[in-house]
Amino acid sequence: MIPVYSKDAEGQLRRMLRRAELSLGRPEAKIAAEIIENVRARGDKALLEYTRKFDGVALENLRVDRLEMALAHRQTPKPLLTALRVAIKNIAEYQLRQVPHSWLRKAGKRSRVGLRYSPVSAAGVYVPGGRAVYPSSALMNIVPAKIAGVPRICLITPPGRNGTAHPVILAAAVELGVDEIYLCGGAQAVAALAYGTETMPRVDMIVGPGNIYVTLAKKLLYGTVGFDKLAGPSDCLILADRTANPEYVAADLLAQAEHDTLASALLITDSPALARRVASAARGQLKKLARREVIAGALKNHGGIFVIKDRADFARLADLIAPEHLQIILKDADAVADKINNAGAVFIGPYSPAALGDYIAGPNHVLPTGGTARFASPLGVEDFIKRTSLVEYAKSDLKSVQKYIDLLARAEGLTAHAASVNRRFN
């Protein structure tokens, strides 16, 4: 089920990593562009038409009634509400440490320069629907926005066949103090948040993962509104040696593959015996899992176990892959983790599975995918905060730098820039 590569393992790994770029020239991009323009021109009417077409639901109202939210919350089992509250608490405590603070410092004798941090005015959180229900996505996107101080936060999610959002999504929104929820999905939801409609006021920032049309819509609307990142299929890399429990490793690979048939789940090990045992354990565990067809598809096309003889190559290959999730189950796990620079989140030791980070540990599970951990970071408070430069100079301090401004401006041929300073002293 999971391919095992012992001969030319690194070469095979490199071939697997040739990811197709999410090009705006692909057919889905043309469809997304048409949807965006239709929503921009026709607003709610276009949204309702697309909901009938793509979701098979004829809605009368796009916004979820608060009474419906309260009812869903009241009917949610208490143990599940407790789990939501524990997750919210842990996520909030982690995000609080990321809050930046404005500052001013002295410049010259009587002047000041500084930096002011302020939240965006409105954020839209996209929570996917379809194959699964993702209350954890609501938590991970809304909590940092709350901590950042965003005044208006709305949630948008595709409706189910019953014409409303899943009750656990509504319950999570109540726990988070968000009562503005809209029923819409796909590229049309992104367009509605970016431009606004009769029902839905526009936002300044859109966060949350979605399907290929959501991602392409983000790419097309970049510059019209702010975005977190272009999320691709989820991916995971596990580094393990003979000290690892093959049942644990297999379970973690299967958990990652559960997301989607496009999800990637990779294992690098220096132990041929562990490779065989993990492959065998995965076959046995798969039979008992509800989403086994999805998992099998992902592992067949985007999964692999690679036996690499030289342990010194582990960190190098991990940085090459730049995984969204990196699990390290090695005897010297801490030492190897210190050498790796490119990963969205690192999970160290046999009792730190990626699923822990997905739900309850506190760090955000909205992570850079598709190798973008080379330059991108997890979602956090900073994504909802703008920086504004502050400059306040006294006349004497401006006079002290006048000649330098004059020289630099004239070197660039911008004489009006020079004159705007010189005129104050002539």
Enzyme catalytic residues: 324-325
Q: Are 215 and 22 in contact (CB under 8 A)?
A: yes
Integer distance in angstroms from the first to the last C-alpha of the chain?
81
Q: For 319, phi and psi rounded to 5 degrees?
A: -65, -30
Q: DSSP string of 377-390?
A: ----GGGGEEEEEE
HSE, side-chain direction, 13 A CA sphere, residue 78: 0
Nearest to 397 by CA among 104, 51, 193, 106: 106
d(CA 163, CA 58): 7
| Relative orientation angle of helices 415-422 and 395-411, to the nearest 10 degrees | 160
- Cα 266–chain centre separation: 20
In 149-207, which ranges are continuous DSSP H helix?
A: 167-176, 186-195
- In order of 32, 152, 196, 386, the CA distances from 124 in angstroms are 19, 9, 11, 16
Strand partners, 222: 225
Edge-first strand order for the sheet with 325-329 is 4-5, 303-307, 264-269, 235-240, 325-329, 345-348
Ramachandran region of residue 157, left (φ > 0), alpha (ψ -120 to 50) or beta? beta
What CA–CA distance (Å, rounded) separates 385 from 363? 18
CB atoms within 10 A of CB 410: 12
Residue 332, φ and ψ in degrees, nearest 5: -110, 50
246 to 159, 267, 281: CA distances (angstroms):
40, 11, 7
Residue 252 has, within 13 A of its CA and on its CB side, a CA count of 32
Alpha carbon distance 205, 121 (integer Å): 9
